[in-house]
């Protein structure tokens, strides 16, 4: 019997949204069935860009979305409470920015939210596999973090496959998220490798019709995703 651990989700990233009409764009993707939005937080140190504060999480929550906050900052545990206060459902820190990943995940969960851990392209996946038991979400960056609209790094797929094997072998409940350059051409490859949370910024919000773009991405990803095989 095949039991999908959870339905796969396409997760539009606010980074690519049009700030002059973000509310309207969120309504568009919501109407297309989107229920999860990713908010990229950048501090200009950990990555060479500055982006959003907690108010953008509040906007997405006000629109009725599940929100994951992707902290691309050097001090994730210090700023975490601000985003919990704003209502985020999931907080993802980078393994490169924490002393001890397991302790960091426990600290995030102690704030009452789901805990995620991310790896940059140059960081091996081993550290992430080592803390999976504490992880609600494992994020594999498929671009060097900092900017939207970059080229997808297909050579990150073995990391996704390794995470899928480790999670299925231990029957863990953990999303595998990919983020960066995901589009209609490569999303099936991400889902086939085992990712079940697919962040897409430009592919959704830079499209002429974000709702149609979202639906196309979801269709392609769902067709390619092989749910966990239960005995
Ligand atoms: C890191 C950001 C981006 C963004 C997705 O740079 O995390 O990856 O969310 O942007 P696109 O989908 O346009 O690459």
Q: Which residue is listed with tokens 């002429």?
A: 208
Cut 0.75: pTM above it: yes
pLDDT at residue 7 in the model: 84
**What is the number of the ligand 1 atom nearest to the C-alpha of 203?**
12
pLDDT at residue 4 in the model: 39
- Cβ partners under 8 Å of residue 19, min gap 6: none
Q: How far is CA 99 from CA 15, 47, 76, 119, in A?
A: 27, 18, 11, 14
| All domains in the chain, ordered by first residue | 9-226 (3.20.20.70)
**pLDDT tens for the chain, residues 1 to 231:** 333 346 899 999 999 999 999 999 999 999 999 999 999 999 999 999 999 999 999 999 999 999 999 999 999 999 999 999 999 999 999 999 999 999 999 999 999 999 999 999 999 999 999 999 999 999 999 999 999 999 999 999 999 999 999 999 999 999 999 999 999 999 999 999 999 999 999 999 999 999 999 999 999 999 999 876 554
pLDDT at residue 25 in the model: 97
**What is the number of the ligand 1 atom nearest to the C-alpha of 150?**
14
pLDDT at residue 209 in the model: 97
- Whether 43 sits among the annotated catalytic residues: the reply is no
User: Could you tell which of 73, 143, 213, 221 is best to mutate to test the pocket of ligand 1, judged by most ligand atoms within 8 Å of the CB?
Assistant: 143
- Classify the phi-psi angles of 64: left when phi > 0, otherwise alpha if psi is within -120 to 50, otherwise beta: left
- Whether 136 sits among the annotated catalytic residues: the reply is no
Q: How far is CA 167 from CA 5, 42, 75, 145, 161, in A?
A: 10, 29, 28, 24, 10
Token code pair at residue 86: 């704003």
Element (H, E) at 211: helix 210-224
**What is the number of the ligand 1 atom nearest to the C-alpha of 152?**
14
The one catalytic residue among 68, 136, 179, 196: 179
The one catalytic residue among 18, 40, 43, 196: 40
């Amino acid at each position: 019997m095949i039991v999908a651990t959870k339905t796969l989700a396409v997760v539009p990233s606010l980074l690519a949204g049009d700030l002059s009409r973000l509310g309207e764009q969120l309504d568009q993707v919501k109407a297309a069935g989107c229920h999860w939005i990713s908010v990229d937080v950048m501090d200009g140190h950990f990555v060479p860009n500055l982006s959003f504060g907690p108010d953008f999480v509040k906007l997405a929550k006000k629109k009725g979305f599940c929100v994951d906050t992707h902290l691309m900052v050097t001090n994730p545990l210090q700023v975490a409470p601000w985003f919990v206060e704003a209502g985020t459902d999931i907080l993802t820190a980078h393994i490169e920015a924490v002393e001890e990943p397991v302790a960091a995940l426990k600290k995030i969960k102690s704030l009452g939210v789901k805990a995620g851990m991310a790896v940059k392209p140059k960081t091996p996946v081993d550290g992430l596999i080592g803390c999976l038991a504490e992880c609600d979400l494992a994020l594999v960056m498929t671009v060097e973090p900092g900017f939207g609209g970059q080229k997808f790094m297909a050579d990150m797929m073995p990391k996704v496959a390794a995470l899928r094997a480790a999670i299925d072998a231990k029957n863990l409940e953990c999303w595998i998220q990919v983020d960066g350059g995901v589009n209609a051409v490569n999303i099936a490859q991400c889902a086939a490798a085992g990712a079940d949370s697919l962040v897409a910024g430009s592919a959704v919000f830079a499209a002429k019709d974000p709702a149609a773009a979202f639906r196309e991405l979801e269709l392609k990803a769902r067709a390619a995703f092989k749910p966990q095989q239960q005995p």
